[in-house]
Every structure is written in C-alpha cells, then in structure tokens.
Chain A
Amino acid sequence: MTALQETRLQEASVLAAGLPTVTEAIEAIGAGALSPVELTEHVLARIERLDPLLDSYVDVFTESALAKARSVQDAIARGESLGPLQGIPVGLKDLYDVAGTPTLAGSAVRAGHVADTDSTVTRKLRAAGAVITGKTVTHEFAYGVVSAPARNPWDRETIPGGSSGGSASAVAAQLCLAAMGSDTGGSIRIPAGLCGLVGLKPTFGRVSKRGVAELSWSLDHAGPITRTVADAAVLLQAIAGHDPGDRCSIDEPVPDYLTGLGAGIEGLRVGVPTNFFFDAVDPEVADAVHAALAVLVEAGAVLVDVTVPHVELTADLVSTIVGVEAAAIHQEHIRTVPEAYTADTRMRLLAGELISGTSYVNAQRARRLVVDGFRSVLSGLSGVDVIATPTLPVTAPAFGAKTAQLGGADVPVMAALNPLTAPANAAGLPALAVPCGFSAAGLPLSLQLMGRPFDEATLLVAGHAYQRRTDWHTRRPPLGEN
C-alpha cells in the first residue's frame, strides 16, 4: 500500500464515524491521518446534501475554502504549520465581515453591502489556519431568537433558536466543525441549547467585535458555538485578546485555556440559585439540570444554594438598553427605508424610539444592581466559583410559532427563550451552555454555567469535566444519514 493509499484509508476511518470534533480534527491533521482538503471537501459535500433541509447557510465559500485547505495541506507537506486551527472548517454568522463579501445581517436593509476588510475575529481565525466555510443565517440584525428560515436538525419542525440559529444548525448537522455567533441577550447560548451544542459567551470585552454588525454596543458579545467544551476552549484561545480597534475590548491578559482544561473540579463551589432561575422552568428541563448537578458532584464539586439579588430586573433593563441602542444604530434606515425591515424588527425599533433618555440612563444604573448582585455571590470568602442554571426554560418551540408554553401560560417566543441567558449579558459575565440531556420528544436540554469576569477558564474546566462523564454531546441529530 502506498503512503497516499494509507492516508486515504485513515481519512475514511476518521470521517466514517461522522465529522470529527475540532479537537479530534486538529489531532488527526497533525498526525497526518486526515488531510485538510479531504476534510473540507467532506464538509462542503455535506452542506450541499443537507443544507437544503436546514437553511443554515446564506453563503457558502466553496472556492476560497478549498483554496485555503490546499494551502494548509501544502504547508503541512513542507513541514510547516499554519496555526492551531489549521484546516479546521469554521462557519461565521452573517454579522461578521469577510473582506470582499457581503455582510447582510439577515436584512434587506444591507442589500448591496460588501465588506472591505475582515472582522478581527475573521482575521484571527484565518491567521490560526481556519478554513472559513461560509456565512450562516442570523435573525435580522440579531434582533430576535427565531433565525428563520433556519431549522433545528433535531426536529426540523422546530426552530434552532437565535439569533445565531444558522451557526447552531450548521454545527449540529456537522456542516462545519465550529461556528461563530453573537450574543446580546443569549443569542449564542439559546441556539446552542436548543441544538444540543456548547455555546460560549465570553466576558464583555474578551473577544473583539470589530467588524461584527452591531445590535447593542453595551450588551453585544462575540463567541463560538461548538460540539464540545474542549472545542470552545480551542476557539476562544484563537480569538480572545485586546483589540484597540474595538472600544469595548479590554486589555486583560489571555490565559492558556488548554493546558489546564482537564484539571478536574475537585472542591469547585457551584452556586445553585434559589431565586429566579428555576422559578418558571419546564419540569423536564429542571430534572435534567439537577441530574447534571449530580454529575458535577460526582466529579468533586460542592453545591451551594445562592440567591442572586436583583436578577429579576434583567428583562426590563436589557429591553430598555437594547431598544435604545438598536434604535440609535438604525436611526437613519428606519426613517429612509422602513419597508426594508421585517415587520418584527421594525416594531422593535419603533418601540426603542419610544424609550426616554432617562429610562436608558436608569437602566444602565439598574444594571449596576445586577452586576453587584452577581458579585455578591461570586466573590468573597463564601463566594462560589460558578453559578449553574438551566440555559433555557423550555425546549425548541415549533417553527413559525409566535408563542411558547412556559409555566402553563403562552408567552411570546422571545420571552420564553431568553430570561435565563440575559442576566449574564447585563452583568457582562462569561457564560457557557452545555448539553445535558434530551426531552421525551427528543429535543436537547442545556445546562448554563456563569463565572467571574474574565474567568472563562473555570467555566471551561467545569464544562469539560461534565462532558468527560456524559455522552450527550456525542449524539447526532436524525438527518436520515446512517
């Protein structure tokens, strides 16, 4: 057998079990058992075959992806490395600028837009050797949690959530190995949770938002959606860091997220809120989260009941802040091309125009109460290391539904999906969604871990420890493949 034949055989075996995770692919590529070109071709073929069922991509970069994969392969053949993500296919939510291509942000308002430079995250991913597969569907300007027309691979009659719904749908269906999302009130963690994935909203200022279409300057975050916590750590390592070109970026040192990832959680203090976070949650969700907490205890964690003061203010203050900041961002276009917006976004922007300046400032003051509330739980001698909650109170709502059942009542889909994720946006804290089971209907359930500012490392260690003891993340959605 020739060396080439041997490689092909190894590749067939790597890809036969489904697409590898980022971590597995890095290892296989590094060991010469998987060629970046083969991997990219495989991903592109899956997109061609499966995306018509899911509508997760708005644009697929077939040629540039293959060209990048070839350049990685050539570099490897020369004994060089193009970076820690060399040859890894990554999708970008269609808010991230890629030079020479449109960033439509899910809106007709952006028709004709072409980015002249890469977003900072795009540039960092490319510099790390990643293969950009294309742009994924977003809810219009990320102002919502539905992300039509994208579908949830676990049940195509349900939504993938949003606003990073295309990214989550694509990662769950293995139409890329990882994807970037953005999160203003939960838009990374909500779709990650509904699609059985890991979603990481880093601390505000940890990852640059330069070149990412904005919704709310003081609440937007950029972060990855992956299948495993280890993959999220790899992505975060590549994209974290100070960017002077982003006013919100903060100059804090970036630790090594990978070396200590398997350190374990012996003695980790996990705060379990007795207020708010479990008040209106489906019993299936609550049961799965409590079972996940038991797994953390088996791994050495200590559970501590906590009360998070003022967290119930979140919905009001986030609504006020996003409303005003989004209205300011869209001030011109809502007047000049109002018909170009979908009715849903237009009414939200009009609602933002009705908010007074004093309300906005008071919301930013009330935000201090929420920040201090979390601080009181996560700091000091009696403080916990992380807070564990459900990511979502419900499973994926039906496609096209305007409302979802929550606590026996019909509530708007937005209100059903974001109440438990938005507090980490208000406080700017890092938060991680980790799959923790399935409902009786076969829909994913999710655990959320929140931590101290710039302490993503502890969340990743805890999430990784959980995934080492569970196999939820290894299950694949029913797409008629087998």
Chain B
Amino acid sequence: MGDLVARSFPPLDVAALTARLEIPEDRAEVVLGSLTSAYEVIDVLDSLPLGETPPATAFDARWE
C-alpha cells in the first residue's frame, strides 16, 4: 500500500460500482453533480477529528 494519495478513477464509475447501480448516459451529468456535492460532504466529515468518539447510536439488547 502506498502513500496518502490514492490513484484517481472517474468518480461516477466508482460510485456506480460501489452502489451496484447502472447509470444511463443521459443521467450521467446530473448524477455527477449530485455526487460531487456528496463527496464534498464526505470530505468534510472525513476531516473531523473524531478520535475514539463512538456513533450517536447504540444497540440496546432489551426486548421492551
């Protein structure tokens, strides 16, 4: 495994693979716009110094 920066691949192709979706050519531009926005949000989240902070959700084993 290399350094911090990974090779880049077309984000739309990768997103389609990840979601196991086929994206028709005529929808590609619109989806790419949304996807870029989503990646910007994820970049912001990834930059947060969360440390060992657990999620704000927790499993509860009780039945009631």
Contact = CB atoms under 8 A, between A and B. Distances in A.
Contacts of A205: 60-61
Interface string B33-64: 00000000000001000001011111111110
B54 A247 contact: yes
Given A356-B18, A356-B19, A204 B61 contact: yes
Contacts of B46: 331
A429 B52 CA distance: 25
B60 A336 contact: no
Of B58, B59, B61, most buried by chain A (CB within 10 Å of CB) is B61
Interface in B10-39: 18-20
Contacts of B19: 356, 358
**5 nearest A-B residue pairs (beta carbon):** A428-B61, A338-B1, A218-B59, A204-B61, A453-B61
18 contacts: A203-B61, A204-B59, A204-B60, A217-B55, A218-B57, A247-B56, A247-B58, A248-B54, A250-B60, A331-B46, A336-B4, A339-B1, A356-B18, A367-B59, A428-B60, A452-B63, A453-B63, A454-B61
A356 B15 CA distance: 10
B62 A250 contact: yes
A78 interface: no
Nearest to B61: A428
Nearest to A359: B20
Interface of B: 1, 4, 18-20, 46, 52, 54-63
A214 B53 CA distance: 11
Given A217-B59, A453-B61, A454-B62, 20 more contacts: A204-B60, A204-B61, A214-B54, A217-B58, A218-B57, A247-B54, A248-B58, A250-B60, A250-B61, A250-B62, A252-B62, A336-B4, A338-B1, A356-B20, A358-B19, A379-B63, A427-B61, A428-B59, A453-B63, A454-B61
Nearest to B19: A356
A375 interface: yes
A156 interface: no
A375 B58 contact: no
A335 interface: yes
